[in-house]
Amino acid sequence: MRPDPGMPPSRCFPPDRPSDPCAFDAALQAVCGGFRVRPSGAGLVRGAIGRRRLGGLDAALVSLDADCVIRDRAMIRRDPGEHMFLICQAEGSSRIIQGGHDIVLRRGHFYLADAAQPSVFAYRGERSRQISLHLPRSEALARFGRACTGGRVVRADAGRATALNAILAGMIDEGEDACAMAEALLTIVAASLWADDRGAEDQGARLYRRALECLARSAFRHGFGLDALAAELGASRRQVQRVFTDHGDTVSGRLNQIRLQAARARLEARADDRADSIAAIAHDCGFQDLSHFYRQFRRQFGTTPAGLGATLARSTDPSA
């Protein structure tokens, strides 16, 4: 592979050498904290770990040919996570599993790892080279907000991605004197995370709006619920549940509210007791169980369907 002027140079990494897994663990822990390497087979680990100061930040340069590197809860208890690791995949690829994320990091991609959360970095026995900038947790939270906890992919557009890699390459050349470059790098990371959050919020808002529209059309269909709603939206159950939770809502609660309000309107509109029966109205509004309808109606409105007229009369009487 020809050198890429926009990528950190290979020469910044120490030369690979075979190591006993325990010895590699000790070297890794001295630089990055509590991690453990799992070799590809029963033999040695091939790789090397370097340490640099880049623009006022500690950096680890890790070259590794192994199955995976693990950080579990026992390690976190012994060595609490006081840092975030801004990781650049300089060569090869890796699979990162952390905080519900399961992503593949390819050459030139960045990931913000949370040392306070368990993680697995899988390499499948292929050589991987990563540069890890160590950010004090308090600084990371101040720069990126609490949304950075639990691990985050830095989703940058083509322009930002090129800039991130070029700046990191410049930091490696400048070393400790690259403070202005480090500030620029972290500013672009913050902008990328902000843009990703903004996009996620907009997408969530659109999905929530579409879900409400769908509920308004389909709420009275018997058996209509979360599964049917997700299918109509072309989303997963989990996506729909999450977007409702983000808006302080639930699918079942919203569905129940729509049905109850419709039933109340129908009951208020009855000309006399000979009009549609309470059971018929409940059925038309999506309730299949009359006892359930009575319980929900009383909980919502403080009266039974039959007693609705008297309750409304009392609530509108100015002398009451």
Q: List the chain domain ranges.
A: 10-198, 253-307
pLDDT of amino acid 204:
83
What does pTM read for this prediction?
A: 0.63
**Domain spanning 10-198, CATH architecture:** Sandwich (2.60)
Q: State pLDDT tens for residues 29-54.
A: 999 999 999 998 767 899 999 999 99
Cβ–Cβ < 8 Å for 287, 263? yes
pLDDT of amino acid 271:
52
Q: State pLDDT tens for residues 87-106.
A: 999 999 999 999 878 899 99
Task: Tell me how crowded residue 65 is: count the other CB atoms within 10 A of its CB.
Answer: 18
CATH of 253-307, one of 1.20.210.10, 1.10.10.60, 3.90.1300.10, 3.40.190.10: 1.10.10.60
CA–CA dist 96, 86 (Å, integer): 13
pLDDT of amino acid 273:
53
pLDDT of amino acid 264:
87
Helices (H), 219-287: 226-233, 237-246, 251-269, 278-284
| Total residues found in the chain within this entry | 320
- Residues of the chain under the 50 pLDDT cut: 1-3, 5, 313, 316, 320
